[in-house]
Amino acid sequence: GENVEQHPSTLSVQEGDSAVIKCTYSDSASNYFPWYKQELGKRPQLIIDIRSNVGEKKDQRIAVTLNKTAKHFSLHITETQPEDSAVYFCAASSNQAGTALIFGKGTTLSVSS
């Protein structure tokens, strides 16, 4: 089945800096790659996703890139703000492996002002 590795586990940046979180997946049939943000004590919420027929997607200060050949995808946050502090999870899905998302272990992002 699918296995998703996420790095780093913790990331500390200064306000205004950029942050990059990287994930790799094992199932070459995976075709959907979302990112979820979980603030302390809250439920995870989708912030951006990308499908296998697209190499990059942007939404204001966040972007996701996908390299299907290397089986990795990344989340980029520019001009970080204190409210970006949260745990970020990547995930991958494959209809071939089963109709469910498999998540990485998460990255705790801390943005200091």
Give the footprint of other proteins on this chain (CB under 8 A). Answer: 1, 6, 9, 31-32, 34, 36, 42-46, 49, 51, 89, 93, 95, 98-106
Q: DSSP label at 85?
A: -
The distance of closest approach from Cβ of residue 113 to other proteins in the complex, given in angstroms and rounded to an integer, is: 26
Cβ closest to other proteins, residue 51 vs residue 81: 51
Cβ closest to other proteins, residue 1 vs residue 55: 1
Look at strands 86-94 and 98-103 and give their pairing: antiparallel
Q: What's at 74, amino acid-wise? A: S
Look at strands 107-112 and 10-14 and give their pairing: parallel
**What whole-number distance in Å separates Cα of residue 46 and Cα of residue 23?**
16
Cβ closest to other proteins, residue 27 vs residue 78: 27
